[in-house]
A and B are shown apart, each in its own frame.
Chain A
Amino acid sequence: MTLRVLLVDDEPAIVDALKKALRRWRDRLEVDGVVGGRAAVRALDEVAYDVVITDARMPEVDGEAVLTFARTRRPATLRLVLSGQVDARTAHRLALIAHQFLPKPTTAPALVAAIDDGQQLLALLADESTRAAVLGQRSLPVPPRVYQRICSLCESQTASLDAVADTVLSEPAIAASVLRLANSAFYGASVEVASVAGAVRILGLARLRELVLVAELFAFDDPLGLLDTLSARCVQRAKAARLLTAGTPLTELASEGALLSEVGVHVLISRDAQAYRLVWDAHARGDGALAALERPVFGTTHGEVGAVLLGLWRLPQALVNVVRYAAEVPGPDALLDARTAVSLVVQAEGEASLGGPSAKTEALAVQLGVAGKLPALWDVLRAPSPLGALSREAA
């Protein structure tokens, strides 16, 4: 199957030369080139491209406008930016609307590799409309309360980086966005950053302020009213995962993975809120694990969808894998790592209301060598949810 690719630049020589350089892959890529944003919008309107690659700085209709149009008109299109020079604010906006940024100049093989990376991730999702939901996801919803808190923290002149990192860690959507920016090539990231504290330190307060205060970078829609519940649950998971891996180098990977373990839920909700309402109600009634209930309805799970989303956002592979497999039971010879630790937490979570771990959970804890931590794990999972604290604060 060939992919349809649209190249956009205001410099005809670039469009022309890049098209020629990509001819080597003509059995896989069918490349169209247009000059300028206006022509790009027309082309996107007419053709369902699989990939759009655009320059950022163009007269009249710029790269951001092209990608914004692409996201609404063609949500299933992979959006790449190929640009030489952007200012910080444009970088922020582009980093959150483009799936990947390639600094200009780049080479044709690097461009093809970027397209392949995206396609490999999307191959995890069989269903076209789920793919569109993931690709079209601009950002994750944030509870307004949390958003306000982080805004005031960022505006304060005395906030320390650690305090900001702690607040970021209290909300999965913000944590994901911060990791996404820190890993974006817009900032010339030379490292993969899996830790929120590390991401906060790499970005620095000035950029975080910029990020947070550009309010449209976050969504506040919450059609099923699940936002607070999901946030609180994932924060609790992160705390539990940190407990299980305390003293190992896995702590941050495990806790950040646990924190992001349910970001995929929001994608499934935006795909079909009504269907998801039924899934959630069944889960809340105790009919089964979320993933098991999602698959028959959506053909996928929030773990897979979340992994594809975070993978497209260029979060480190290790972290993406924790999210992808969080709801799966580790194999009989699995050892303790970030992935299995989070799996244990998710499994135990369902049993927390039952008073004690099941034999299966106990066996897994023994297998991973953390049986001694089970009582403490239970304390964390049965503690009043952080949501209660939030509501009290609001009152």
Chain B
Amino acid sequence: MHPLLRRQLNRVFKGEPPSSPELRAFIEAVDAAYQGYDTDLQLLERAAALAARETEERYRALQEDIAQRQRAESAREGFFRTSPDMVAVVDQSFRFVERNDGWRRDLGYDNATLDRVSVMSLIHADDRDRVRAEAIRVQAGETSQAFEFRVKHASGAWRWLSVASCRGHDGCFYVVGRDVTEQRRMASELAQSHKLEAVGQLASGVAHEINTPVQYVGDNLDFAADGFKQVFTYLDAAHAVLAPEQRASLADLARTCELDYFRDELPSSLKAARDGVRRVAELVRALKEFAHPDAHEKSDADVNRILERTITLARGETKHVCAVTTSLEATQFVRAHEGSLSQVFLNLIVNAAHAVEEVTSREGRAAEHRISVVTRDEPGAVLVSISDTGCGIPDAIRDRIFEPFFTTKPMGKGTGQGLPLVRRVVTSHGGTLEVDSAPGRGTTFSIRLPCEARSPSGVRRAA
């Protein structure tokens, strides 16, 4: 019997169990109910205990899971924050959902601006279609790698970004970007120098081939000039001893043969041919020296000589634009890579020609314009200034002309690499570069290159 029931029965019946069979049956039924209840209770308790244990285990697992997620989140935060790259989640309208500080740091905008803008609005107009097409590919599940396009820096300069991206949650993009402007500049410079090297090799070979005919064409012209002089000397002498009637009979022939015309014109036409040959020779020499500076180290260089041959080379760009005047008075030498300096001067002279051309193509009057090249000794330095009377540089872009890839020239004409190269070369020579420009009046670039106290005690050889 269930102990609880027994205690109740003892209290009520004082140890005298009822003998009535009905009561006994009832008591047995109650006992069974007690017993059943107990069993249920135990079951329930066991179930509760089991549930409690399970809950605890689940709780513990959840805790672990949360900790793990927190660690992952913290790692993500860490990567996000410390990545040298620009990392972001961007939505389908190309606005930032989330981004690291790289964007602010590399593009120069404050956070309020970045919160507001669509990345697309910062992308170079010429690159937007490409970017959109790439975005569609990514949405379709492909991963984009090393995809490059131009983005506007807060300063207005264009920076090249290389971007990797994949599809993220809710149609977002996960984006990792990196500024590769500098790498692109170096790569294009390397390509440029390879190109120059190839041109140099070609020029050397071609120079030899051209110089041979130039040599004998010139000599033959000299010979012809000498010959004509002799022939006419003889003709004049012969003419003088002729009888008057003989002279008269020859007069017709002389007219038919245009003898007087040849006498007047041959010397100058031979001289013009000689000048032409001389110019071909100069051009070939200039090209050879420009494209193939034989020393890769610095040596004492004569800026006047470099300028003279650069002007010869640039003649193709300048001659239809305006005159180039020179006043090359520097006598000091500078320690320089001749090849680099040649490129600097060539860039500045060609730029000057383009600046003048912009004006003359609108207004004509080429005779009023000029490009002037001046060198002068200054204490401890040589000044090289290259001026033009061209369109000038608008104030608005004055600060930007030395930025890589910045150009105002039409596609195909400017690479935006000329002036950055000028500045870099001048700086690497320990020199300074100044720009003085008045829109509509012209521009002067002044380069000061230091010369060491110890210069070769030489005098310029006469040409």
Contact = CB atoms under 8 A, between A and B. Distances in A.
A105 B277 contact: yes
A262 B259 CA distance: 63
A14 B302 CA distance: 33
A103 B208 CA distance: 11
B297 A11 contact: no
Nearest to B456: A198
A256 to B, nearest CB: 9
B461 A190 contact: yes
Contact of B211 (A17, A84, A195): A84
Interface stretch (B113-121, B136-144, B179-187, B216-224): B216-224
Given A20-B220, A21-B220, A198 B226 contact: no
A204 B295 contact: yes
A106 B215 contact: yes
A195 B207 contact: no
A25 to B, nearest CB: 10
Given A17-B216, A21-B222, A190-B305, A84 B457 contact: no
Given A21-B220, A105-B218, A191 B461 contact: yes
A192 interface: yes
A192 B461 contact: yes
B174 to A, nearest CB: 50
A198 B300 contact: yes
Contacts of B298: 204
Given A20-B223, A201-B299, A191 B456 contact: yes
Interface in B183-216: 204, 207-208, 211-216
B461 A17 contact: no
Contacts of B74: none
Classify chain A: how many residues form its interface, as a range: 35 or more
Main secondary structure of the interface of B (DSSP, over half): helix
B460 interface: yes
A57 interface: yes
A252 B459 CA distance: 13
Given A16-B216, A18-B216, A201-B299, A191 B223 contact: no
Contacts of A107: 218-219, 222
Contacts of B211: 84-85, 104-105
B357 interface: no
A189 B295 contact: no
A193 B222 CA distance: 33
A190 B285 contact: no
A206 interface: yes
B219 A20 contact: yes
Nearest to B217: A17
Contacts of B214: 105
A194 B456 CA distance: 8
Given A20-B223, A206-B296, A105 B455 contact: no
Interface in B327-348: 335
Interface in A346-383: none
Contacts of B305: 190
Contact of B456 (A108, A202, A204, A249): A202
B219 A108 contact: yes
A15 B435 CA distance: 53
A38 interface: no
Contacts of B335: 201
Interface in A154-198: 188-195, 197-198
B253 to A, nearest CB: 29
Nearest to B214: A105
Interface string B44-72: 00000000000000000000000000000
A380 to B, nearest CB: 22
A249 B295 contact: no
Contact of A23 (B213, B226, B456): B226
B207 A18 contact: no
Interface of B: 204, 207-208, 211-220, 222-223, 226, 277, 281, 285, 288-289, 294-300, 302, 305, 335, 454-461
**Closest 9 pairs (CB-CB, A-B):** A198-B456, A17-B219, A84-B211, A17-B216, A20-B223, A191-B458, A21-B219, A85-B208, A105-B215
Given A17-B217, A85-B211, A107-B219, 8 more contacts: A21-B223, A85-B204, A191-B460, A192-B458, A192-B461, A198-B456, A201-B335, A204-B297
25 contacts: A11-B216, A14-B216, A14-B219, A17-B215, A17-B216, A18-B215, A18-B219, A21-B218, A21-B220, A21-B222, A21-B223, A21-B226, A24-B226, A57-B208, A84-B208, A85-B211, A104-B212, A104-B215, A105-B211, A107-B219, A191-B461, A193-B457, A198-B455, A201-B454, A316-B458
